[in-house]
Amino acid sequence: MVQIASEALGTITNERELYKTVLVLTLELLDASGGAVLVEGEDVVSFGLNDSGETLAALETVRIKGRVPWVGRLGQHHALGVGFGRADGAVFLVREERPYTEAECASLRLVARQLARAQERSRLYASLEKTTLEAISALAAALESRDGTTGGHIRRTQVLAGEVARTMGLSSEEVRTAQYAVVLHDIGKIGIPDSILNKLARLTEEEWEIMRRHPKMGADIVGEISGFDSVTGAVLSHHERYDGLGYPERLTGADIPVGARLISAIDAYDAMTNDRPYRKALTRQEAMAELEANSGSQFDPTVIEALTTVLLKREEHEPEREKEPGQ
């Protein structure tokens, strides 16, 4: 059982996924009808507890009072609980048929030790990832300040990317990818000369050739971050078009990473609804009409549908104000 737990938890870095995996595993292997993972300051993860929270409340009392490991009864249920981590977490299992044995308690303790190690690894990974992202985001912010036309762009698009990704029903990992990618997608412009990056006149063909290198440059930078493979793909492909006429690889449709398809639409919307030296911002309605007109050619129709839903919802709660384009 310990080997199974070790293999199951070995590659998971998200804490809630760790807790869910442990519950699924122990419910089956220890013949439980329900269970929960309770951790100080975090939302409960539970399966099979259908008594309006009474069992969870009782289990939380046991955890808080530090009574684990614990074998006992909760109403009609036999219950088993063991602690894990630095005294802030506990795994509980319940069933009706028969009491838990000492052997089963010992088995759950062994699994809990594996969970504690995986939890510590997950928290370390999250801390390292946060530090790395902050460093690269600082570079992105420096690039934003270098380009006077994009002030506030990173923050606006990051928030919008999260809303649109969730509206599309993407997984938590895909939402994370979209939000990281939208922050980092133009990081490759750090290698583009100012004379090209800030040129107001039409770029020459030679200058366009240089500008088109920035997705690859950005992907090379982001690719140095461990665990950012999906973000790297989105950064590389954020100038692809749904109809295959984009760059650098002329990908089409679903072959374009979903993070890149999100960036394409969200970046365009933010650009249209904020002032540039050569034009005034479009209204929200004008920008939405432009996106719809290019849905299926430049943009993924599914992304445009979700983006439109988000923007209309924003409109209901916060009517467009003339001095706040893009919000």
Per-residue pLDDT at 23 exceeds 70: yes
Strands 34-39 and 89-95 come out as antiparallel
62-66, 182-186, 190-194: least confidently modelled range: 62-66
Query: Which pLDDT band, with edges at 50, 70 and 90, does 255 fall under?
Result: very high
Per-residue pLDDT at 87 exceeds 70: no
**Domain assignment present for 129:** no
Please check whether residues 109 and 238 belong to one and the same domain.
no
Q: Average pLDDT in the 167-190 region? A: 91
Give the range of the structural domain holding residue 60, as residue numbers without chain letter.
2-121
Please tell me the distance from the alpha carbon of residue 37 to that of residue 41, in angstroms, as a whole number: 12
Per-residue pLDDT at 219 exceeds 90: yes
Please check whether residues 93 and 209 belong to one and the same domain.
no
- What CATH number is attached to the domain comprising 66? 3.30.450.40
Please check whether residues 39 and 114 belong to one and the same domain.
yes
**Domain assignment present for 141:** no
Q: Average pLDDT in the 32-37 region? A: 87
List beta partners, residue 91: 37, 82
Alpha helices in the chain (DSSP H): 2-9, 15-29, 54-64, 102-146, 153-167, 172-184, 194-197, 205-211, 214-222, 229-236, 258-272, 284-293, 301-317
**Domain assignment present for 293:** yes
pLDDT for the residue numbered 149: 52
Per-residue pLDDT at 9 exceeds 80: no
Q: Average pLDDT in the 212-222 region? A: 95
CA distances from 54 to 58, 66, 75 (A): 6, 19, 10
**Domain assignment present for 155:** yes
The count of other CB atoms within 10 Å of the CB of residue 43 is 9
Q: Which of 86, 121, 156 is the last residue of a domain?
A: 121
- What CATH number is attached to the domain comprising 270? 1.10.3210.10
Please check whether residues 302 and 218 belong to one and the same domain.
yes
Note the pTM of the prediction, 2 decimals: 0.65
Q: Average pLDDT in the 34-53 region? A: 78
Please check whether residues 64 and 167 belong to one and the same domain.
no
Query: Which pLDDT band, with edges at 50, 70 and 90, does 140 fall under?
Result: confident
pLDDT for the residue numbered 47: 75
Please check whether residues 89 and 178 belong to one and the same domain.
no
Please check whether residues 268 and 209 belong to one and the same domain.
yes
Q: Which of 104, 121, 138 is the last residue of a domain?
A: 121
Please tell me the distance from the alpha carbon of residue 272 to that of residue 282, in angstroms, as a whole number: 6
Please check whether residues 162 and 289 belong to one and the same domain.
yes
Q: Average pLDDT in the 244-263 region? A: 97
Please tell me the distance from the alpha carbon of residue 265 to that of residue 242, in angstroms, as a whole number: 11
Please check whether residues 272 and 219 belong to one and the same domain.
yes
93-102, 242-251, 254-263: least confidently modelled range: 93-102
Q: Which of 262, 248, 257 is nearest to 302 (CA)?
A: 262
Q: Which of 83, 104, 121 is the last residue of a domain?
A: 121
105 and 78 Cβ atoms separated by less than 8 Å: no
pLDDT for the residue numbered 159: 93
Per-residue pLDDT at 318 exceeds 90: no
Q: Output the six-digit token pair for 10.
A: 């070995």
pLDDT for the residue numbered 321: 45
User: 15-29 and 2-9 helices cross at what angle (nearest 10)?
Assistant: 150
Query: Which pLDDT band, with edges at 50, 70 and 90, does 125 fall under?
Result: confident
**Domain assignment present for 134:** no
Please check whether residues 116 and 174 belong to one and the same domain.
no
Please check whether residues 35 and 154 belong to one and the same domain.
no
270 and 214 Cβ atoms separated by less than 8 Å: no
pLDDT for the residue numbered 174: 92
- Please indicate whether residue 75 or residue 209 has the higher confidence score (pLDDT): 209
pLDDT for the residue numbered 325: 46
Please tell me the distance from the alpha carbon of residue 50 to that of residue 39, in angstroms, as a whole number: 20
**Domain assignment present for 71:** yes
CA 115 to chain centre: 22
**Domain assignment present for 59:** yes
CA distances from 239 to 19, 248, 262, 264, 318 (A): 38, 7, 11, 7, 31
Q: Which of 287, 214, 71 is nearest to 222 (CA)?
A: 214
**Domain assignment present for 16:** yes
Into how many domains does the chain fold? 2
Query: Which pLDDT band, with edges at 50, 70 and 90, does 147 fall under?
Result: low
Per-residue pLDDT at 263 exceeds 90: yes
Please check whether residues 18 and 99 belong to one and the same domain.
yes
pLDDT for the residue numbered 146: 67
